[in-house]
Each structure stands twice: as structure tokens, then as C-alpha cells.
Structure 1
């Protein structure tokens, strides 16, 4: 299997790479351009750090000698408008006007599904990095679409495992009313009885994405008197929900399980309003131990951008590492050879080995599971552990059944 690693020295050199480019072998060919589309305007808190780290990793790869025997890589970044229609138009422009080799990116699940369908029609590789919907690799999966980040099912399963055996039987769900939120809610309903026999869902709230009525939502959840709450809100919706919930005492003496809330993108805006003890998936970047390459990534990122990394930063960096491994393994820009090379591709990354499972095109990149807490006036995680995505993927028989029926 092809691997790609960067030494601590190469990682640290990333910030200087734009000033001193390596001499590439003559005849090695031109720069390899990769189209990256994402919701840089609407989801800037995640997408901008993601782009920063991709540029950092791009420079590090090029400084270390490039790929395929000395060719540079270059990402062409475009905003996808955070809508399916705009994203498909941008994807078409990247392929036809910018002449990129393949596509990567997207943030929202409905946007990712639209670009996946476009990639399938055009028979061009699309590496979906952020969208979490299970449909992307299951019922609507196709030969040309692959996903790096752990899916909704995988992350929900991590959280449900963390509450296994607890005496919390009455649950409420709050999730944004679009593909990601609906998928997360369905997964929670499916997995909960296996962890807590006799558990039931007593209330569900599905506010529109970006337009949560926090007062009404919190009021409805409180009236149901649940023992636990499964939350899928993020961004500004999460901030409004937490503020109103704190004010009304919604979270007091209740177990709260929350997707993504431990990511710095969402903890930082909460600040001193961060609730105590929520069980979350996230990224405690300053608590990661036993991964020297991760620490080197953090040091280089902070040195270059004068900021701490976000979860988007980590994902952006790992994305480039996987792409570099892919190009080296395929040793070709032929689309079908790239697709074949992705099957069970193993890449050494700053969070350890990541494999792109050939069966469903899902990456084994994991995430951290822990609890929210306040450190001073800022939210962070405690008792966190890295959950390897390979341990939480859909069972193989279920994948085969889903993709046969697609």
C-alpha cells in the first residue's frame, strides 16, 4: 500500500515553503491541480481553518519533493454557495474552466450529495471531506464518490457507546431539519435500544437550519420531561439553543449527548456559557498525546496562522496527506486509475493510519469522544479519547445490501 508521511522537519518547514520552492525534476510534468469547493462564506468558522491547513499541507508536500516523482500539487478553492445548485455549477466550472484533475470538499450533507451525483454523471472522482450523511456512501453511494471524515452513523455510534448501560430511559432529540440532522436522529433511534434496553424517544424537535427558534424549541423539550437529550444542532443554532437552555435550566440533572459540540469551531463561540458534562464528539487539540506528528502539525499551524487549530484545520491537513498518498500510489492522473488506487488505500497521517475502505468508500479517520467543561472562561473537553473510525463503520453485510439496492 502506498503511504505518505511528513517528518517533523518537513511539517515545520511548511510555513517557509512559499518562500523557497524545491527544484523539481525536469520532465516531471506540470502542476497537478485539484478542485476544492466548500461553504467558505456560510460556514466560515469551519471552512476557513480547513482551507488554511490545506494550504499548509500543500506547501509541506511540495517542500518535501511533491508527488509522483516531483510534481507539485495546487488546490483551486471555490465557494460552493452552501446550496446544491450553486455547488454543482461550481463543480462544473472547476472541471471545465480550471481543468482540475478531480474534486474534493463540500460541507453540508445535501450539498455533498448533489456533487456526488454530479461526479457520478461526469464519471470524475469526488473526495467528500466534510459532509456526514450516511447516504453518501450507502444508499446513494457510487463508484466515483469517497468520503474521508467519520459519518453520521459512525459518530452517533461513538456517542451511544459512551452512554451504554446508563439508567437514562426517556430521551428527546433536537436536530436541524435537513439531511444531516434527519440521518443523525434516525441513527440514534436505531442504536439507543442496543445500549439502553427499554429506552424511548418522548420528544423530537427539527428546527430549520440556521433559523432555530430557541425559546420554542427549549420549551417543547422541557415540557416532555426527558431524562436525556440527543442534540445535533451546530453553529449559531447551537449557541442560541445553549443560551436559552441554560437560562431555563433545561440541561440541569439531564444527560446530554451532542454531535460535534466538542469541536473548537463550536466551543469557542459558547465561551463561558459552555454547559458542563455534555458527552460529545470533538477535537481537544491541546490534549492529544502519543502522536508526535500531530504535535508537529499543531506547532506549524500556530506558527503560520498565529491561531490554534480547529477540527476543520485537522481535516484539511489529513485530506492533503490522503490525496498525496493517492497520487503516489496511482502514479497517474487517469480518473479510473485514481479510483482503483483509492480502494483500501492506507495513508499515514497526523492522526495515525487512515484507510479508505473499498467496500463502501468510507475512510477510517476517527474523532475524539469526551465531555464538555469550562477552563477559565472557555469551553474545552475532558476525559477525551480518540475513537478509531475503523471500529465504528457500518457492518459489511449492511453496506452490501444498501449499495445493491441503490
Structure 2
């Protein structure tokens, strides 16, 4: 199914939910006996490759929680909304969910700028926000607040994982390419700082910051090649990544150069490239078909049975967001903001990737990521020589975090 078809279906689904929600609210109200309502906001129409699998797994998790008796006898109910990748739309929808639909908490977020807007809304309105995907460090550090918690391994954490491998490479001259918004800028900043700390003799000879979703791949590749780097740090994703890889291969940019790339090992970004997927890149990603831990095997099989498809990284994020919220709600019978926030601090739950904790210090979870290199197998890209990098090992010391995060 094409991206536009997926987006249309999601939009229609969101519209149906919006039409049904007022009737549900009138009949069930916001008491302690009806469903526990979660307001989930995401960039469904602008990032369908990640968020369709995310939405699928969210549905699966809610079904599993409710089939097991719900939360203290109350089922979970989700009101999904599409922010179209626009922070202003996300904030407007958050207001509607909180004020008109009386949701107990907010969740979701994909793009970092949207996630920051939702975090600011949560802080101003004193509402719990469980951020699923936004990778920006600011959401838990520079602009962190008492009401926002983040599941996914952050930009800093994943850069630290990649720097561990990049520092082993026999290269000194680096170039970077990243989308020109908070996530891309933050990734480049941390990669440069951490790599320079690990290997002081490196230099950065070029930077390219194309507009998100509008990369001029030919011009970007030409500018990088002109600087003659020995290695490239890439942060582009989705359609930008596809265009960058194709233009880079056509123009010989990757010949005899090492590439370290954030997120590129995730199947939602490798799959569209098919047999054009790059080989030998050092990446963070998700080798879904190769992970055979009990937790992951059970999740993978349940997802396959429910959707007749294989999971993507978005599937893991969607599923674990629900399971984290469910674990939090089981800790407290008071479905009100302050007791829920207290329950989130230090919350431990068994994620698809293994045990995860939301640190009380900065509200960042210790969810990790897989690090390996890209290879072609059976006409498609996947990962080889991978390892699981536990997120708790890739965070700065507590005293450093305290300098990065405001009080409260």
C-alpha cells in the first residue's frame, strides 16, 4: 500500500474517531468506572511509514491489556488525532482532547519540534504527556518539565552508541548531513562533541542541513563530495534518506568512504530502498527477524497473527508506549495527573527489548537500540553484526544531567 493510501486511511479513521468521541464522552463521562481515555497525537499523514506500524501495535497492546481485564477492571480507550507534522495543530488537538474529551493523559509525538510543543502544553496545563518517539534531548533536558516522560532512546543516547563504533574507524576527516530542525541539529552537535572527546584528532570539514522532507539530494551530495571527507555522519531519514542514498550511489559519494548513520537500520527506512540499500554503513536500527529473545519473539508472533505483517521499529514504540502507560496505571488507582506523574517516576516495565525504567531524575527511559552494519540479503537491506546497546549505559552521569535539566 502506498504512503498516500495509508495516510488517507489513517485520516479517515481519525475522523471516525472524532465523530464518535462526543457520544462516548456523554454516556461514560470522566468518572472512575468507565474506560480510561488516552489522547494520542501523532504525525500520521506526514510520516506514515513509521506511524502505520506504530498505530497497529498500539491497537494490539490495547487489545491485550483489555483482554486481560483492563486496569483495575477498567478498559483502556484511545482517541487518536493527526497533527500532520505541525506543532500548532498538535497543541490545538491537545487542547481539544483535554478540555472537550476529558482524556486522562496525552501520549504520542514523532517529530521533535511537535514533541516539544506537546511537552510545553503538558507543562502549562499540568497534564501527563508520555512522549513515544520524539528524539530531541531538549524534551527531557533543556526544556524538560515535571509532566513529560519520553520512551525512545534519545538523540544523545543513540549518538553515543554510534560514536563507540565511529571512534574505531581509521579516519579523521568527517562530514555531516542532517535535516534542518531540532533533531538534526542536536544529532550533529552531540556526534561532533562525543567523537571529538573520544578521538581528539578528528576534524569536521563539511556540514549540510537540508530542509526536512525537501532535500536537494544532488546538490547535497555534490557539496559533501567537494569537501573530500573520509567519513560521513548521516541523520536523514524517510524519503530524504532514500533520495540521499540514490544520489550518493549514482555520484560515487560512498566509494571508499565510511558512513555512520542514525536510524538507517530501521526497516521503515531500509525497506523502500530494496536492493539499493547501502552496505557496510554503521547504523542504529531494528533487525526484527533476527531477535529471538522470549519478549521479542512473543511480540513478533502476536503482531504477525494480528496484522499478517512483520513489525517495524514503529511497532515496538507504539506497543511499548501502551504497555508503559498500563504499568503506570496499575501502580495507582487514582487516574489523576499528580498520582500518575508520581507513578511514572522510576517506573519499570518489561518492554519488547527487555526491562526498561523511566528515570526519576530526568524522565528518560532506559530503552536501548540495536547497533550494527547494513547488508543486503535476499534483495533487501537488513543488519548484521548487531548488538543491543542498553540505554542505561549511554546516558551522562546524574550530576551532568542536573546541569542540563531545569529544576522541577
Name the SS of the counterpart of 1:370 in structure 2: strand
Aligned to 1:386: 388
Inter-partner Cα distance in structure 1 for 2:135 and 2:239:
19
| 1:397 aligns to 2:399 (yes or no) | yes
Q: For residues 351-387 of structure 1, give each alpha carbon's deviation from its aligned partner in whole angstroms, at most 9, with x where no partner exists.
A: 1111000101100111100001101211111011111
TM-score (norm 2): 0.91
Aligned to 1:207: 210
Structure-to-structure mapping, 1:44-193, within 5 angstroms? 44-67=48-71, 69-193=72-196
User: Which among 210, 219, 223 is matched to residue 226 of structure 2?
Assistant: 223
Inter-partner Cα distance in structure 1 for 2:362 and 2:35:
30
CA contact (8 A) 1:28 1:70 kept: no
Name the SS of the counterpart of 2:358 in structure 1: strand
Name the SS of the counterpart of 2:45 in structure 1: coil
How many residues are matched?
378
Inter-partner Cα distance in structure 1 for 2:163 and 2:257:
15
How far 1:157 sits from its partner (Å)?
0.5
Inter-partner Cα distance in structure 1 for 2:391 and 2:351:
14
| 1:344 aligns to 2:346 (yes or no) | yes
User: Which among 327, 330, 333 is matched to residue 331 of structure 1?
Assistant: 333
For structure 2, the 5+ residue unaligned runs are 1-30
Inter-partner Cα distance in structure 2 for 1:405 and 1:94:
28
CA contact (8 A) 2:40 2:81 kept: yes
CA contact (8 A) 2:370 2:388 kept: yes
User: Which among 268, 271, 274 is matched to residue 265 of structure 1?
Assistant: 268
Aligned to 2:252: 249
Aligned to 1:314: 316
| 1:33 aligns to 2:37 (yes or no) | yes
Inter-partner Cα distance in structure 1 for 2:352 and 2:405:
31
Inter-partner Cα distance in structure 2 for 1:105 and 1:342:
16
Q: For residues 300-349 of structure 1, give each alpha carbon's deviation from its aligned partner in whole angstroms, at most 9, with x where no partner exists.
A: 11111111101000111111111111000122202101101111111112
Inter-partner Cα distance in structure 1 for 2:213 and 2:187:
17
Distance 1:293 1:234, change over 3 A: same
Distance 1:28 1:125, change over 3 A: closer
User: Which among 334, 343, 365 is matched to residue 363 of structure 1?
Assistant: 365
TM-score (norm 1): 0.91
For structure 1, the 5+ residue unaligned runs are 1-26
| 1:376 aligns to 2:378 (yes or no) | yes
How far 1:71 sits from its partner (Å)?
1.1
CA contact (8 A) 2:141 2:406 kept: no
Aligned to 1:21: none
My pick for the range that moved more, 162-171 or 332-341, is 162-171
Q: For residues 198-244 of structure 1, give each alpha carbon's deviation from its aligned partner in whole angstroms, at most 9, with x where no partner exists.
A: 00100000000011001100000001110100000001000000000
Name the SS of the counterpart of 2:81 in structure 1: strand
How far 1:141 sits from its partner (Å)?
0.4
Aligned to 1:300: 302
Aligned to 2:7: none
CA contact (8 A) 2:166 2:195 kept: no
Inter-partner Cα distance in structure 1 for 2:54 and 2:393:
25
